[in-house]
Structure formats: C-alpha cells, structure tokens
Amino acid sequence: MSTRPLSFSTFTLTGVDTEKFLQGQVTVDVTHIRNDEHRPTAVCDLKGRIAFGLWLTRHSAEQFDVIISTDLLDSFKAHIRKYGAFSKMTASDAQEIYPVIHNDAADFQVNESTTTIDEWQKTAIAQGSAWITADNAGLFQPQELRLHQRAGVDYDKGCYLGQEIVARLYFRAKPKAWLHRAQGTGTLPQVGQTFAPNVDIVNVVETNEGWEALVVAKPESIVESGLVILPLPDALNGEVGRVV
C-alpha cells in the first residue's frame, strides 16, 4: 500500500484531435460533457479493468481539463504519449487541484480549500463515488464500481480501450460482485486489499466509529465478513446489470 498522502492533479489537453483522442480512450461519450462539471470516467486496460480514473471538463472539442490522482499522473501522461503519439494535441503542465465539498458532493476547485482530504473522502464514500489511485488501479471493472450509474459509462458510443469487455458484461451478463458502502471496526484495511472472502476494499477512510469503505462484494459476503452495510444514494441502489 502506498504511504503517499492522497492528492489530485489537473492538466489541460488542447488541440484539434483532443476530442477524437479522448473518445477512443474513455468510457464516457466526451461530446456530452459540459463545461461546468467534473464528469467521472475511466480509461480501461484491455481486460476491461480501470487503469486510470479521471474527471473531465469539456470547454470545446479542442480543450478538455483532466483530473487524476497525483500518484497516477506520470503513468497517465506516458499513456497519452503512447496512444496519442500521432494526435495533434498538447498537454499542459500539471498543477494540484484541491478537494472541496460542493452542494454536499465531493468535488474539486483550483484554489486552496478549507476542506480536508479526510472530509472529501468521507463525502465521496457516502456518495458511492469511488476513486482510482495506484493502489487499486487495474483491479475493478467500471460496472463493478457502479460508474455507469454515475453517468461515467456510455454503452452507445464507439470503441474505446476495453470496450468489448465492458459492453459484454453489460449486455450479456452482470458483475459477480458490485459496489457497496460498508462500516467496520478494528485495524484500518488497505486499499486494494481482499478484506474477507469475496470482499475487496476499493476506498477506505478512518472515522470516529472505526472506518468506512467502498467495497466490491455480494451483499451476503459483506454480512458474513462482519461488516455493516450502509446506505448509498438512491441512484446507486438500482440493478447493476442491464434491465430488459
């Protein structure tokens, strides 16, 4: 587990090929992103697991802001250089972006904030807003994290990295386990840890009562592990598989 404190960075992609490049990389339809939002999305590996968790803001087809956990910044910039080598776009220098609670939601702002990173994590976990760092990259599929229920996956857009796996899981099956919010006591588990059989820690934060975490599991596995299932927002309580 990394001992580096959680932080986030932002940079801007600019150029005539920016929208086209991102459309072939991320799980969301980038043409539908607004200029007043930080839309959660993901870049998957070829196994359909999330390699990079991002938030995107679209200013125009030629300019997007990108937010990513700082410990994945260098890896993601290397990814851009690899896959965007022939794309006409440039990436600005990165700068720190600060956590903030806005309208009771975990968000970001470019100016320093009085919101602590622990407060941000507690709010994000209460929302079911999982985030990806170096400790959990490559472990989870978008649907397992309910990213599609947070407007972070578009099943009607064209191809992107891992799209075949992600689409198959949605249209022909459903995850064997999926995101829940859980409460525990005792030693704080590690991000990415298998806490108990079939219970994997996605994000975790210490609380006065012990700790709270977002976990990927079946409900019965959570109960068997001794954890308590806590409520998530209504939008994240629906069926994780396709409803037909």
Main-chain phi, psi angles of 140, to 5 degrees: -130, 150
pLDDT averaged over 10-residue windows placed end to end, the chain, 244 residues:
80 98 98 97 96 98 98 97 94 97 95 95 98 98 96 93 91 88 96 95 96 96 95 90 73
Q: Supply the pTM of this predicted model.
A: 0.95
Task: Quote the pLDDT of residue 172.
Answer: 80
| CA proximity to 169, closest of 10, 23, 86, 50 | 50
Task: Quote the pLDDT of residue 1.
Answer: 47
Q: Cβ neighbours of residue 1 under 8 Å, at least 6 residues apart?
A: 135, 190, 191, 192, 193
Task: Quote the pLDDT of residue 170.
Answer: 85
| CA proximity to 64, closest of 33, 24, 27 | 33
Q: What are the boundaries of each domain within the chain?
A: 8-173
Task: Quote the pLDDT of residue 174.
Answer: 80
Measured distance CA(215)–CA(130) in Å, rounded: 9
Q: What's the fold here for domain 8-173?
A: Gyrase A; domain 2 (3.30.1360)
Burial of 209 (0-12, 13-18, 19+ CB in 10 A): exposed
Measured distance CA(135)–CA(193) in Å, rounded: 9
Please provide the DSSP assignment of the chain as one string. Answer: ---SPP-EEEEEEESTTHHHHHHTTBSS-GGG--TT--EEEEEE-TTS-EEEEEEEEEEETTEEEEEEEGGGHHHHHHHHHHHTTTSS-EEPPPEEEEEEEETTEEEEESS--S--HHHHHHHHHHHT-----TTTTTS--TTTTTGGGGT---SSS---TTHHHHHHHHHH---SSEEEEEEE-SSPPPTT-EEETTEEEEEEEEETTEEEEEEEE-HHHHHHTT-EEE---GGGSS-SS---
Task: Quote the pLDDT of residue 244.
Answer: 63
